[in-house]
Amino acid sequence: MDRLRVALVAHDEKKPDLVAWVEQHRQHFKGFELFATGTTGLRVTERCPELPVKRLKSGPLGGDQQIGAMIAERTLDALIFFVDPLSPHPHDVDVKALTRLAIVYDIPFALNRATAEMMLAELCLARRAVD
């Protein structure tokens, strides 16, 4: 089976949480093809240099749309997006469009650590079942 393709995105205030979570699960992420928006991808690769992360543009500069296009083209298997619901986001329209695409194309989509934990466990099980 091809490697599962997972996108990692985080709002600014949630980037440290996402990076720490990826670091905690780095062994599992070695089995995935990872994509991330600009700064999130940079921070993940700084903490986990052994993980090959394809960095896309920064979210506000088109990275959200790049991930949305991957979803629409069915070249992305799951999306993990640590959202900060307490801060305003100037590119909120882009985030809503990304959310809409994840729902329309029915891909696994985690918005917080608790859901990401469950999703990661299931993705790992699915990967083992076909390996």
**Which pair of tokens denotes residue 87?**
């801060």
Strands (E), 44-125: 53-55, 78-82, 109-110
- How far is residue 81's CA from residue 49's CA, in Å, rounded to a whole number? 21
Catalytic residues: 64
Nearest residue to 50 via CA among 16, 26, 17, 34? 26
